Structure 1
Amino acid sequence: MALGGIGAGYFEIRKDGRFYAWNIANNFPKETGPKFLLPDDEREDRMEANLFFEVRYQVQGESPRIKLLQLSYGLYEGAEMGIAYSLPWMKAIREIEYSARFPLATLVFRDPEMPFSLKLEAWSSFIPHDVKNSALPLIFFDFEAESTCAKPVNVTLLMTARNFTGYADEERFYTTVIDRDSKGLTISMSSGGMDRKASSWGEIALGVSSPNSSFYAGWGHRHPYYEQVLRRSTLPNLDDTNGRESIGNFVPDWLPDTTGRNRVDPQTGVRKMHDDDLFSTIACTFKLQASGENAKSAFQYAWNFPNLYNEVIDGVGGDRIEGHFYSNFFSSAAAVIAYGSKYHRSLKQSTMEFLNNFFASDGEVALLEQANSQLNTFFTSGRLTRDGSFGVLEGLSKSYSWGPIATIDVMLYGTAPIIALFPELQKATMRCHALVQLPSGEIEHGLRKDFLRGEDSTTGVSHRIDLPGQFAIMVMRDFFWTNDMSYLRELFPAAQRAVEYVLRDRSAGNGAMPVTQGIETSYDNFSMTGFASYLLSQWICALESVAAGAAALDDTPTSARYLALAGKTRETMETKLWNGSYYKLYAADQKEPATSNGDGCLTDQLVGQWAARCSGLSPILQEERIGLALKSILTRSYHAGFGLQNCSFRTGEQLSDVDRDIWNDQANTCWSGVELAFASLLMFEGLYEEGVMVARTVDTRYRENGLYWNHQEYGGHYFRPMSAWSLVNAMLGFSINCDRMTFDPKVPQLDLQLFFATPTGTAFYRRSGKTVQLRCLTGQLAFREVWLGGVGPKIATIEGRQIETNTSRQGGLQSFSFATQQKISSGQTVTFS
């Protein structure tokens, strides 16, 4: 699981208690700086020692021992080679019980030799609708120890971190600053002797909130560091970064004569790092007097790498610092530690409140966990710059950045949680896309790691015909969800230009709908020719969405024109693509060969209907046919224990033929982002159990492959599976369309509680018998209409006060219309009875 902040950088904590995938220093692959590598020498796997924890303990009357709080895998552990030989009194912990729900990982350390239990809660602040506190370059490590020994035990928890600031500059020297007061201790590590505008320049800080703290900064070798850890319950409070210069006048007799980790050249007087490694350790010491007694310790790890540059593309770029959003609030890593220490309790309370509320639901746990696991991608792949520009990387792996940022075809699926939890970030991305829109109205596939530049010339993705409609759908969905008229006035012209570009240049003369000439969509490895269901279903949704936008802007003629074009597109899809069971892959002209794959059954043939459901729009096609098509897709393409493949071409056969000239089989494979969106569509359309079945299959497949936090498509940490948030909405039958909220629960039980989020708050939907309550948990809920399914209440009250409404039935839903917009805040309830 990732620890970090949105756009701030991250690293991962895994089941072995170790830390991986370091991406905090503007380094490639996540960002634009050099790769962060520590080359091995006689020491193996040096990256393993970037951060680690240990516990020293001593039972009264016995010798001290040290446990490394990670599992033993190799020779290099605890910044030391071969501890079984060199440090026999230090061992790796025997067992770790690991559990995680983003953004909290809980590790319980067990060892029969250890006279106490020890639990770690590693977490980062993630608070919906609070971008600042969800984008902190800060990680908390909260420990709790409980004695299992009748005798008193002295316990010292130790946190050690490497100074890798300036990792790309071999001429640098290390710097260390100690800040200590009655409440705790902070060590800040940085680099001097280098360009302070370099992307790798920055600071790392360690903090511990305890008056019983101690430190040993600037050490680089087991001698004398580990000898002192073993022999004393507290660290010696010295800084060996520059040897005696940094230690001061009181030099302990056990300390060797040292120049520290830096050395000054006697000829030039220039200071330069002397050792490849510099570590600093902070500690918290306490005594457990008897069995059952417990103690808590809170550590923090923070960073500040302010020089995030734009991307170099074709020799252009790399010259502008875009910076991080956190730089608006913090000028040093020490300031981040101070903030985290001051607000530790409130940040944890708000973070855990969201997490606990999210899972306090009668929805399927596996589906909730899928949605929760995809929030991890906010940390791994979100790019949030100082000016508030935002986007999510398409894919990311250990050594490569896959695709650009905010690819429109993937955004259509993956932005479901962004508009609900951080609407300003979603709107920022759309503004960036509007900025780079071509004069013709064409939409760029993605954004570079430079929010002023689009991806305009990449083979196989430029000039895709699905992008304009997807852009228009998202502009309007964002308006429907936020009811932000200023945003609509700002972005509607760009959405309209995108639509008009298709009508003018990509409709093959029909003037109403897109016509594809081959490989021109997100499915970039098998051809669709002519009228394609994937395109037309989206196009209907796009046209009906922009028609609604035009109406909101009082442009009745434009609205009517787009509705008429949507009708023509619908007629084409119903007459040319419906084959009695599903909407086939495509229908070309009469010259199409008899061996055509046009009859293929694409899982995504109704993605436009899914988008319409997400925007609170009416069905885009005949509802009976929608149901038949969904069932046909399941019959032909779902395989238990495998998944839901993208497309099937022959009934009764799981595998379709693969053309010899393609670079990747996209028909037979499963894209989890599509599967999860499709599962939510099944539920929206009343096929609840089938939707649960598909989503559970995805969850199981990724768990069994050890990739629960890291879904794959074009690279890892793929953006599209963030569509999992749609499962949360679909279980509740929840959508927002301006001032109207709709609730039509699909979970098959009468009395239930389900969590939901709007762009302004989080809440519970509660149903008991024929009474429905909406209880605001955080922020506020704003509405003028509420549509309810499954019950028949007549009266609306807010905090016990009856509110006059007009009620009616709307397509099987009970409609409540209020005279004015209503708002309820945290702790308040609106009741329908």
Structure 2
Amino acid sequence: MPASQSRSRAAVLHRLKPFTGQHLSQISFPLGGIGTGSVGLSGRGGLIDWEILNRPSVGSSYPRTFPVLWVREKGKNPICKVLEAPPLPPFQGGGGGDPHLNGEGLPHMDSCTFLGEYPFAWLDFKSRSLPVSVQLEAYNPFIPNDPEASGFPAAILRYKVTNRAKSPVQVTLAWSVFNMIGSIGVADRDPAMRTVEFGYGKNINRLIDTGSLRGIHFCTEKYSGDHPRAGDLALVTPNRDVTLMRCWLRGPWFSPMHDFWDTFSTTGLFIDHDYPPSDENQSDAGAVGIRLSLKPGESRDAVFYLTWYFPNFEKYWHDCGQAGGCCPPAGGKPVWKNYYASRFENALDVAERLHSEEAHLHQRTQAFHQALFGSSLPEEVLDAVSSQMAILKTATCIRLPDGTFYGFEGCAPMSGCCEGSCTHVWNYQQALPFLFPSLERSMRTADYQYNLREDGGMCFRLQLPLGSSPNDFHAAADGQMGGLIKLYRDWKISGDDTWLESLWPRARKALEFAWVQWDPDQDGVIDGIQHNTYDIEFHGPNPLTAFFYLGALRAGAEIAEHLGEFESADRYREIFRQGATWVEQNLFNGEYFIQQHDPELAPMNQFGPGCLTDQLLGQWISSLSGLGDLIDPGLVRKSLKSIFRHNWRKSLKDHANMQRVYALNEESGLLLCSWPRGAVPGFHSLTRMKSGLESNTRLPHTSFSRGWWRRDWKSCEAQETVSMASAATPGMNSNAATIMHGPCLPMACCWLVPGSSSTGEPG
């Protein structure tokens, strides 16, 4: 189908509500591949959060980077507008006025609506003065079980322009993009003259026409080879009638913007400026315009591919922080190749491959969208699941040179936050194992290959580059035992006995480390000192680590039996039986499961008789993995009801939280812990709320069985936790935040989709 024709959207089923007005202000819809970085589509229609340069850049924008629309109806004067909704307050400019480098002071569209149903975003722009309507479909291929097809470093922007007038119209729809090569990202929207940055220099913008694509190739002559800032971008289109400008006018003060706007707004064309490579600390923007002629009532598409290629990933956080400094080493910070660098030669190669496959990729992505949004799942579930799976396309996630998937816990504004595919944090997420199981298996392989120490303890943060020695910090009980459960789950999903056999000796060693560190008498009860996901140490038996241990024992028994190690299987089952009985008889207080510890001997941050929201986390993950009930399901049901009754807050306006703030005012959520029977510890770290915890308590209050959304959705607990958690992120106050941007933990909600459990036989 020629790019200029309009792709039909009639068959697209929309289930979610669109955003508009002030509710657009906090939207950033990631466009990019898994492990490639991404750029965010803002709620107004611009591009922000430029995280394509191998590190996060939350809130970043670049100068002279915005879309513009020129329209001339036959017999009338042309109209030109920035193709975005108007800028939203607060307007916080510098000494020279409010921001202006992205056309903030130019005419804009009257408004737009933003509908995000991941992996697609649709924007509908409105302007009373224009004789055309404009809609945007933005996406990057997202095809479950195909990480290669879902791994293009690209953003696809497909605009549909419709002539609403009774006369023919001429249209030019254009994007201007800044050559940002040499930058490491800008962490705010400060209006300072950001055309100047120390990393720029010798940047050059080239016109290209490959026959199938035409546009601008953004390059540099300053960086090459293995330099971390080496790379290129491309802004191209398959549309044939174009107007191109390599560089904006190089001039003082506001003359570049005057030249750009005065020329384009009157003619709908660009005047090309052919300059030599930029001076040191300088760079240029270039522009690609697509020209359309529309008869009355006619619709045509204008398609842009924004592609990038920054192959060299630098371990920018490589610094031990110790006095005197043992890091970075004399050779500098480690640098390795992104996985996508093994698939593509440069940004133009990405664009050519993407264009040749895009029709099929779009069809497959749309099939996934329709399967998800065409289901009978409630809208609140669809919103939770689809929005959080987008985290896989952010800078939180990396693919290492051999394709191994690696993840931070999330992202700070300019860096990954909490390195190492942290085992106890990545326990929560349920997107990767069911959408891209081969990538999840790569995490298991790396974990057992590189994190296992001689004594069987495991580093819970994978050190990079791969092959680096694991650190000697405490093993995390929930992370290490959770690894056994996930190994079982990933084997059941894949049916790959060879893979299982290759990892089992090391996994068995990790399981039996519990008998050294946490359960030396092998009675099935963890009662040693247990580092855990709260970055503290629990002392004594408690449900968080107990259920992970029981799940690991059952997983170990199933694996050992399958591999013919019957004595080991029997041993694991006997320890499991003892432990499960003890937990039922000693940790359940009639309402929920508690911690037993000696307050005189244990340090602060114990929860004792408190009601911990995560108390059933190990049971939840075990159930999803096909391991069934670890204890009496009746006790589980009582605990779930107690968690909701004691820890759910419809409003936090009267809740005192002296710790990290993840929700406030009238927002709702689950507290990490409460003490309904008193005996609140003098100091603890468990009174805060954290996004994502709702997901492991959104279980049926009658059973752990799947299919609850059909049978038990109308239970007040299930409906309210999902609905209110979704309502807490209306696009204007915050996202599903923890201490970071793009956190992996909220992907816990992806279990809500039917089929997200490995209860069948391998294969």
Asked if Structure 1 and Structure 2 have the same fold, meaning a TM-score greater than 0.5 normalized by the shorter chain, the answer is yes
Q: Cα 1:473–1:61, aligned 2, differ >3 Å: closer, same or farther?
A: same
Counterpart for residue 674 of structure 2: 648
2:491 aligned with 1:464, yes or no?
A: no
1:22 aligns with 2:34: no
| 1:554-573 equivalent positions in 2, closer than 5 A | 554-573=564-583
1:235 matched to which residue of 2? Answer: 270
1:179 aligns with 2:214: no
Does the C-alpha gap of structure 1 residues 728 and 568 become closer, same or farther in structure 2, counting only changes over 3 Å? same
Partner of 2:405: 390
CA distance, structure 2, for counterparts of residue 590 and residue 28 of structure 1: 44
Shift of 1:354: 0.5
Indicate the percent of aligned positions where both proteins have the same amino acid.
Answer: 21
Q: Which residue of the partner structure matches residue 219 of structure 1?
A: 248
Instruction: Give deviations 1:604-639, integer Å, cap 9, x for gaps.
Output: 222222122111123110122222222222222223
CA distance in 1, matches of 2:416, 2:733: 21
Ranges in structure 1 where 5+ consecutive residues have no aligned partner: 31-35, 38-46, 84-89, 243-260, 263-271, 741-781, 783-833
1:673 matched to 2:692? The reply is yes
Q: Which of 507, 523, 526 in structure 1 is aligned with 2:534? A: 523
CA shift for structure 1 position 421 = 1.3
Q: Supply the distance in 2 between the matched residues of 1:523 and 1:170 (Cα, whole angstroms).
A: 39
Superposition RMSD in Å: 2.8
Task: Give the conservation status (yes or no) of the 8 Å contact 1:18–1:48.
Answer: no
1:495 Cα deviation (Å)?
A: 1.6
Query: How many pairs align?
Result: 672
Q: Secondary structure at the match of 1:186?
A: strand
**AA matched with 1:404:** E
- The yes-or-no answer on 1:301 pairing with 2:301 is no
Partner of 1:735: 757
- 1:24 offset after TM fit, Å? 0.4
Give the drift of 1:164.
Answer: 1.0
Equivalent AA in structure 1 for residue 480 of structure 2: P
Residue 431 (structure 2) pairs with residue 417 (structure 1)? yes
CA–CA distance in structure 1, aligned partners of residues 751 and 172 of structure 2: 46
Pick the structure with more strand per residue: 1
Aligned to 2:446: 432
- Structure 1 pair 577/590, CA: closer, same or farther in 2 (3 Å)? farther
Show the 5 A alignment for 1:355-754: 355-380=369-394, 381-414=396-429, 416-434=430-448, 435-453=450-468, 456=471, 462-507=474-519, 509-510=521-522, 512-517=524-529, 520-524=531-535, 528-588=538-598, 597-641=607-651, 642-651=668-677, 659-660=682-683, 665-666=685-686, 668-680=687-699, 682=701, 684-685=704-705, 688=713, 689=715, 690-703=717-730, 706-707=733-734, 710-729=735-754, 735-737=757-759, 739=761
Quick one: structure 1 residues 241 and 699, their matched pair in 2 at CA, closer, same or farther if it must change by over 3 Å?
same
2:203 partner letter? Y
Of 98, 110, 118 in structure 1, the residue corresponding to residue 126 of structure 2 is 110
- Aligned residue number for residue 57 of structure 1: 71
Partner of 2:360: 346
Greater displacement, 3-12 / 432-441: 432-441
Which amino acid letter does the alignment assign opposite residue 287 of structure 1?
S
* Change in CA separation of 1:705 and 1:669 when aligned onto 2, cut-off 3 Å: farther
Quote how far apart the aligned CAs of 1:4 are: 0.9
Partner of 1:158: 174
Aligned to 1:266: none
Is 2:62–2:178's contact at 8 Å kept on the other side of the alignment? no
The structure-2 alpha-carbon separation of the partners of 1:50 and 1:5, relative to structure 1 and needing over 3 Å to count, comes to farther
- The CA deviation at 1:449 is 4.9
- The Cα offsets for residues 72-101 of structure 1, whole Å up to 9 and x where unpaired, read as 436677746774xxxxxx511110111111
CA displacement 1:334-353 (0-9 Å, x = unmatched)? 11111122222111111111
Distance 2:99 2:489 in 1: 51
**Match of 2:26?**
none
Which has the greater radius of gyration? 1
TM-score by length of 2: 0.83
What is aligned with 2:151? Answer: 135
Letter matched to residue 712 of structure 1: A
- Residue identity matched to 1:354: F
The AA in structure 2 aligned to 1:280 is G
Alpha-carbon distance in 1 for matches of 2:166, 2:101: 33
Letter in 2 for 1:401: G
SS of aligned partner of 2:477? coil
C-alpha displacement at 1:457, in angstroms?
A: 5.6
Tell me the residue number matched to 2:253. none
Question: Which whole-Å deviations, capped at 9, do the CAs of 1:565-603 have from their partners, x for residues lacking one?
Answer: 11111122012112222221335599889x985211112
Query: TM-score normalized by structure 1?
Result: 0.76
Matches of 2:617 and 2:210, distance apart in 1: 58
Does the CA-based 8 Å contact 2:514-2:520 persist in structure 1? no
Name 2:288's counterpart in structure 1.
282
Write the letter of the residue equivalent to 1:98.
Answer: F
In structure 2, relative to structure 1, the CA distance for the partners of 1:216 and 1:453 (3 Å cut) is same
8 Å CA contact 1:577, 1:587 repeated in 2: no
SS at match of 1:636: helix
Secondary structure of 1:222's counterpart equals helix
Give SS of 1:96's match: strand
**Bigger relative CO (Cα 8 Å, ≥ 6 apart):** 2
C-alpha distance in 1 between matches for 2:335 and 2:560: 38
Deviations 1:154-177 (A, max 9, x none): 100111111011236647312233
Q: Which runs of 5+ in 2 are unaligned?
A: 1-28, 92-96, 185-197, 250-255, 321-326, 652-667
